[in-house]
Amino acid sequence: MKHLTILVPAAQTSFNTFACIGGAYDIFNRANTFRKANGKEPVFHVELAGASEKSEVNNGLLTIKPEVYISSVRKTDLIIIPAISHDFKKPEKENALLASWIEKQYKNGAEVASMCTGAMILASTGLLDGKNCSIHWGSADSLRNLFPKVIVKPDSLITDEHGIYTNGGGYSFLNLIIYLIEKYYDRETAIYCSKIYQIEIERQKQSAFTIFTGQKSHEDEVVKKAQAYLEDNFREKISIEELSQKFAVGRRNFDRRFIKATGNTPIEYLQRVKIESAKKAFEATRKNVNEVMYEVGYSDEKAFREVFKKITGLSPLGYKKKYSKETAVY
């Protein structure tokens, strides 16, 4: 039987930390029960492990006690890192011991999966350098700034690379659990767990859930002014060449600075601003696709549809049907 270690951080916790721990512990054990009921051997011995006697959130409102200390886990096959608090800068207190232990176990053959902001702990080990990483869209900028060698993929729900798995934000950790169950158990067990816990199987993107607020956590004042201009005038026809001249910066240098500061080219940033406005219109008004398209500055339906789907993962009509208050069920 393989060994699954679900880590219990000693500090930097949030309510989502406990949700990830409880969800993973419950669903993996249910997968084992299903296997036994069908005459098969369980795949994992599941343990909660930490570097302290207990972990708590909100001044002890919720407390979890690890079953074992990580020092007693000499060999494990899969490590799950739950989400942590969003104000992470570096591993604090015993969490530094967890990071060191994760690195050692990975080099000893273990696979590692991070949930949401748990990617921060994983990235601090250096194991994500040069690798793709998914995380909650609201923490993507922080991850880029803290760990510039990590290839951040905020649109992806799950990444799977060299025995390292990461996933997006919030309760999408449930999709990662189903993904891992299919990988380690089988398709039948994954489908069973998805039905029991009512988790949508095969979801691959978190794009539709992203709320684009503009990447402003940088120090380039020229780029910040350019961002503000794009956000205030996105309905107009904007020439990026003229925009760079407006701020007295050569076009190539302007593009380079913009990408470094925001992770997007100026054109991509403008597209995201337009599509975010379109999303809000679909959610809150009765306007049809063409009306919204013209409102946000597009005149070519094909181009609008292609950019919308690239950014959200859904067609404009598909998004409208899913999120419009006209189709809401009460």
pLDDT tens-digit map of 242-290: 999 999 999 999 999 999 998 889 999 999 999 999 999 998 888 999 9
d(CA 143, CA 153) in angstroms, rounded, equals 10
Same domain membership, residue 247 and residue 140: no
Same domain membership, residue 276 and residue 193: no
Same domain membership, residue 314 and residue 171: no
d(CA 103, CA 121) in angstroms, rounded, equals 11
End position of a domain, from candidates 209, 240, 265: 209
What is the tens place of the pLDDT at every residue in 3-58?
999 999 988 899 999 999 999 999 999 999 999 999 999 999 999 999 998 888 88
The total domain count for the chain is 2
Same domain membership, residue 165 and residue 238: no
φ, ψ dihedrals at 171, nearest 5°: -90, 15
316 touches 292 (CB < 8 A): yes
Same domain membership, residue 233 and residue 205: no
What is the tens place of the pLDDT at every residue in 100-150?
999 999 999 999 999 999 999 999 999 999 999 999 988 998 999 999 999
The pLDDT value given to residue 255: 95
Q: Does residue 24 sit within a domain?
A: yes
End position of a domain, from candidates 209, 234, 269: 209
Q: Does residue 189 sit within a domain?
A: yes
**Percent above pLDDT 90 for the chain:** 75
The pLDDT value given to residue 212: 79
Q: Does residue 330 sit within a domain?
A: no
Check whether 330 has a pLDDT greater than 50: no
Average pLDDT over residues 58-65: 87
Higher pLDDT, 235 or 217: 235
Q: Does residue 329 sit within a domain?
A: no
Same domain membership, residue 297 and residue 161: no
d(CA 135, CA 313) in angstroms, rounded, equals 17
Same domain membership, residue 183 and residue 233: no
Q: Does residue 328 sit within a domain?
A: no
Average pLDDT over residues 211-233: 88
End position of a domain, from candidates 145, 174, 209: 209
The pLDDT value given to residue 217: 78
Same domain membership, residue 111 and residue 32: yes
Q: Does residue 180 sit within a domain?
A: yes
User: Residue 208's pLDDT band (boundaries 50, 70, 90)?
Assistant: low
Residue found under tokens 């299903």: 34
Q: What domain range is 202 assigned to?
A: 2-209
Average pLDDT over residues 49-78: 92
Same domain membership, residue 227 and residue 195: no
Same domain membership, residue 58 and residue 108: yes
∠ CA 257-258-263, rounded to 5°: 115
Question: Which domain CATH number covers 294?
Answer: 1.10.10.60
φ, ψ dihedrals at 234, nearest 5°: -65, -20
Q: Does residue 214 sit within a domain?
A: no
8 touches 94 (CB < 8 A): no
d(CA 305, CA 290) in angstroms, rounded, equals 10
Check whether 327 has a pLDDT greater than 70: no
Q: Does residue 74 sit within a domain?
A: yes
Same domain membership, residue 278 and residue 258: yes
What is the tens place of the pLDDT at every residue in 289-312?
999 999 999 999 999 999 999 999
Same domain membership, residue 201 and residue 140: yes
Question: Which domain CATH number covers 9?
Answer: 3.40.50.880
